[in-house]
Structure 1
Amino acid sequence: MNEVPKIPVYIGLGSNQGRPEENLAKARKHIQSITGVFSPLSSQVYYTEPQGVKEQPWFANQVIRVLCHPAWTPELLMRHLLNIEQMLGRKRTAHWGPRRIDCDLLLFGRQVVDTPELTLPHPGILHRAFVLVPLVELTPDLCLPDGTQVADRLHCLAYRRQGLRIWQDDTHGEEPGADPDAGPRTVGSAVSATSGGTYV
């Protein structure tokens, strides 16, 4: 019997409240326990200078790669990530403010979503070194659905890295009005598949 092909999914984790490394570990454990989610791989934990609001602790950031059964949709997984955030005590207040946990859906295979509730690839992915660095660590030849090479994009960013510490002045080019802390992202229904992108 042929094995059903699974969907490669990348999830960004971040925390700068309480015990950040423990918060990331708890989030990973919850994600790994989801039925139909397999073979988790985790990047190293990187420590990132706060962006926007500098007067707060540095962030611990990490990207994990999982394989999802094809019965999963981006919207359904997003609901689960929001539930995990809530269980771990996430409170959405100020934009760029401190948070106990972030669980961001970065990429869901080659799928492209553009609704008021959900955008894939994640709209900040091209501008954040703390996302691109661990993505390249996990999958050096990763491409976005439009064919953009993640490693090439990282080389274009103005950032500095020393070991596991990352400095970046701001998120250059983030879409105006994009506010990930404005409220929970519920889910929409318009999903389209595009060609391109190399996933390992």
Structure 2
Amino acid sequence: MQATQVYVALGANLANPTQQLDDAVDALKRLALDGSLSVSSYYRSKPMGDVVQPDYVNAVAGFITSLQPVELLDALQAIEQQHGRVRLEHWGPRTLDLDLLLYGQQHINEPRLTVPHYGMKQRSFVLVPLADIAPTLTLPCNTSLESLISVAMRDELQKLIDLS
């Protein structure tokens, strides 16, 4: 059994977002090898795009899993569906969004899955929480995580709950 360190972004802005993230973290524990789950602080962020909607609550979880990449994707999507996720519009409001950011140091480009996650390098609501739990992380492109985070990115977010 091959075990791999993975990082998953969590986001929600409907139906009590903080509770949605708490419940998602509990579900992620079942995908993680015992004792390997770490979770960032929770942050409030402004929504992306032009859709009028509430602010998001975001976090990042890291854990070691024995699931293969597509198996993990399926498990993450099942958790989203259990939380009432409906995909109505791009960057629209959601009860829960779980994005596989990194799967070890692998580059994956399949029809259903791109890893590293395509937008992670530009998103403060991903990079700042990821740095909470993996401050010395180097991405598969050999770029240090810390080098991607600007003061402005840190200023965009409001820390809500400190779990780190």
Q: Which structure has more RCO (C-alpha within 8 Å, separation ≥ 6)?
A: 2
AA in 2 matched with 1:41: S
Larger Rg: 1
Residue pairs, 1:134-149, within 5 angstroms: 134-149=129-144
Name the CA distance, whole Å, in 1 between partners of 2:154 and 2:107.
Answer: 27
The residue number in structure 2 matching 1:109 is 104
Summarize the Cα distance change of 1:140–1:94 in structure 2 as closer, same or farther, 3 Å threshold.
same
**Residues 38, 68 of structure 1: 8 Å contact kept:** no
* Consecutive unaligned residues in structure 2, runs of 5 or more: none
Name the CA distance, whole Å, in 1 between partners of 2:18 and 2:151.
Answer: 29
AA in 2 matched with 1:126: K
Q: Percent identity at matched positions?
A: 35
Aligned counterpart in structure 1 of residue 149 of structure 2, from 154, 161, 171? 154
Q: What is the CA RMSD across the aligned residues, in angstroms?
A: 2.1
SS at match of 1:147: coil
User: How big is the shift at 1:160?
Assistant: 2.8
Name the CA distance, whole Å, in 1 between partners of 2:22 and 2:103.
Answer: 21
AA in 2 matched with 1:138: I
**Residues 125, 157 of structure 2: 8 Å contact kept:** no
User: How big is the shift at 1:6?
Assistant: 3.4
TM norm structure 1: 0.74
SS at match of 2:156: strand
Summarize the Cα distance change of 1:14–1:121 in structure 2 as closer, same or farther, 3 Å threshold.
same
SS at match of 1:123: coil
TM norm structure 2: 0.89
Structure 1 stretches (4+) deviating beyond 2 angstroms? Answer: 34-38, 155-163
Q: Residue by residue, what CA displacement relative to the aligned partner does 1:37-85 show, whole Å, maximum 9, x if unpaired? A: 651100000000111135210000000011113xx21111000000000
AA in 2 matched with 1:142: L
**Residues 46, 61 of structure 1: 8 Å contact kept:** yes
The residue number in structure 2 matching 1:55 is 52
Q: How many residues align?
A: 160
* Consecutive unaligned residues in structure 1, runs of 5 or more: 166-200
Name the CA distance, whole Å, in 2 between partners of 1:35 and 1:96.
Answer: 28
Name the CA distance, whole Å, in 1 between partners of 2:16 and 2:151.
Answer: 32
